[in-house]
């Protein structure tokens, strides 16, 4: 049995803890607030500000974990190098956690060092620099904080009138104390996919069937598996994913995002952990969910193969206002749909657009993916967070 410290305890962490507990592991779930989803199923919990390096050091010293698993961006990740020196395994690695928590590090690695195809981009550390950057990449363009998650602080500049608003929104949505933003040229893509990629301690890099997704406000709304993609584009995406994960080192699951355009495949972003769009795998689309794959990879257990078992889709259930102790109205109607399921995350507090649950739908291999997706959307619409 390993002692595993989870840094960040949201809905993705909750499913990972369940997978780890099924494999007999001991988990300490850490978050910035009490009763976070993963804390509800873990062995122990800690509530700290993970951007406080001293507080992070204290709980690591207190619990002496064998493995540290970062699940969010807002962590003082430079401390991870020291933890590795102490003999603690950081998942996937201290290097991976540091590079991917900051969009600047991962984008420069992908574009400049590895030569992956990306959107043209610039950085800006003030409103004046943002104005200059938009002049270089052109309008429309996308602005993102270097550190943020779930689309927070991300917006599209459509005219020069949007520039100041985009800067202010990026600052309000950023995580940590990093004010710098990345400004990306708008890629005219046909679709976007997540390629869940599994690196192993003692085995080859594996790829899950591609997942399609739709975003609003920079956050995913629906995902479906398998996504339609030409075989040559899939091969290109797999080569790019293998290249970047090898450079970052370590074992675990990675959510690698790509744009599919007329002129090829563009690398977009990468997360060194289970991906929100991968919640579709909870619908049994694969022989192992993304959380089971992550658990096996973390523990160095073999993953002989990843197979597509059925067609599936997920659709998010959002809160629409600030509140506490939420109730879920309409579950009876939602759960009356055949070949479906719902996962309620157990978040104690609501706010507008906060993801509170997910609707899942599935059907046999060969079924119409669009029909399954529409069913997931219909199920999600039956549920109101009150």
**pLDDT tens digits in sequence order for the chain, 386 residues long:** 999 999 999 999 999 999 999 999 999 999 999 999 999 999 999 999 998 999 999 999 999 999 999 998 778 889 999 999 999 999 999 999 988 877 888 899 999 999 999 999 999 999 999 999 999 999 999 999 987 766 678 899 999 999 999 999 999 888 767 789 999 998 889 999 999 999 999 999 999 999 999 988 778 999 999 999 999 999 999 999 999 999 999 999 999 999 999 999 999 989 999 999 999 999 999 999 999 999 999 999 999 999 999 999 999 999 999 999 999 999 999 999 999 999 999 999 999 999 999 999 999 999 999 999 999 999 999 999 99
Among 350, 251, 337, which Cα is nearest to 302's? Answer: 251
- For the chain, residues classed under CATH 3.30.470.20 are 189-385
276 catalytic? Reply is yes
**CB contact at 8 A, 341 and 279:** no
149 catalytic? Reply is yes
Q: Which CATH number fits domain 189-385: 3.30.450.40, 3.40.50.2300, 3.30.470.20, 3.30.530.20?
A: 3.30.470.20
257 catalytic? Reply is yes
Catalytic residue among 134, 148, 149, 223: 149
Catalytic residue among 276, 292, 363, 382: 276
**Fold adopted by 120-185:** Dna Ligase; domain 1 (3.30.1490)
Catalytic residue among 255, 355, 363, 382: 355
**CB contact at 8 A, 1 and 25:** yes
Catalytic residue among 269, 309, 310, 367: 269
Distances (CA, A) of 286 to 180, 297, 305, 370, 380: 39, 16, 10, 18, 22
Catalytic residue among 150, 245, 277, 314: 277
Among 48, 54, 93, which Cα is nearest to 70's? Answer: 93
Domain over 3-90 is classified CATH 3.30.70.20: no
84 catalytic? Reply is no
128 catalytic? Reply is no
197 catalytic? Reply is no
| pTM of the complete model | 0.92
- For the chain, residues classed under CATH 3.30.1490.20 are 120-185
- For the chain, residues classed under CATH 3.40.50.20 are 3-90
Phi and psi, residue 304, nearest 5°: -60, -40
Among 236, 170, 248, which Cα is nearest to 207's? Answer: 236
Q: Which stretches within the chain are classed as H helix?
A: 11-22, 53-63, 80-85, 94-100, 103-108, 127-137, 163-173, 231-248, 290-299, 331-334, 369-381
Q: Which stretches within 249-368 are classed as H helix?
A: 290-299, 331-334
78 catalytic? Reply is no
Catalytic residue among 184, 257, 292, 341: 257
Catalytic residue among 43, 108, 151, 284: 151
Given this model, what pLDDT does residue 147 score? 75
């Amino acid at each position: 049995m390993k002692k595993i410290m989870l840094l960040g305890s949201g809905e993705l962490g909750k499913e990972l803890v369940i997978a780890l507990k099924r494999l007999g592991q001991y988990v300490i779930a850490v978050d910035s607030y009490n009763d976070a989803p993963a804390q509800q199923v873990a062995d122990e919990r800690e509530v700290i500000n993970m951007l406080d390096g001293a507080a992070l050091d204290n709980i690591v010293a207190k619990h002496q974990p064998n493995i540290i698993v970062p699940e969010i961006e807002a962590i003082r990740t430079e401390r991870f190098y020291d933890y590795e020196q102490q003999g603690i395994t950081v998942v996937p690695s201290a290097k991976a956690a540091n590079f991917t928590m900051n969009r600047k590090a991962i984008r420069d690695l992908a574009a400049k060092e590895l030569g992956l195809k990306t959107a043209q981009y610039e950085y800006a550390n003030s409103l004046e620099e943002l104005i200059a950057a938009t002049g270089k990449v052109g309008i429309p363009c996308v602005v993102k904080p270097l550190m943020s998650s779930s689309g927070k602080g991300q917006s599209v500049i459509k005219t020069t009138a949007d520039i100041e608003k985009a800067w202010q929104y990026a600052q309000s949505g950023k995580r940590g104390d990093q004010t710098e933003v990345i400004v990306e040229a708008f890629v005219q893509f046909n679709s976007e996919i997540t390629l869940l990629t599994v690196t192993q301690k003692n085995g080859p890099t594996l790829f899950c069937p591609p997942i399609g997704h739709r975003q609003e406000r920079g956050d995913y709304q629906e995902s479906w598996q398998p996504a339609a993609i030409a075989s040559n584009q899939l091969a290109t995406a797999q080569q790019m994913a293998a290249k970047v994960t090898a450079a970052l080192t370590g074992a675990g699951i990675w959510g690698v995002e790509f744009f599919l355009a007329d002129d090829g495949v563009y690398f977009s972003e990468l997360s060194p952990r289970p991906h929100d769009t991968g919640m579709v795998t909870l619908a049994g689309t694969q022989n192992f969910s993304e959380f089971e794959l992550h658990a096996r990879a973390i523990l160095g257990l073999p993953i002989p193969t990843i197979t597509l078992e059925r067609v599936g889709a997920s659709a998010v259930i959002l809160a629409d206002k600030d509140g506490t102790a939420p109730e879920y109205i309409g579950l009876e109607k939602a759960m009356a749909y055949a070949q479906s399921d719902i996962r309620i995350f157990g978040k104690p507090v609501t706010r507008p657009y906060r993801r509170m649950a997910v609707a899942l739908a599935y059907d046999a291999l060969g079924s119409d993916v669009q029909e399954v997706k529409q069913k997931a959307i219909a199920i999600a619409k039956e549920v109101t967070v009150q």
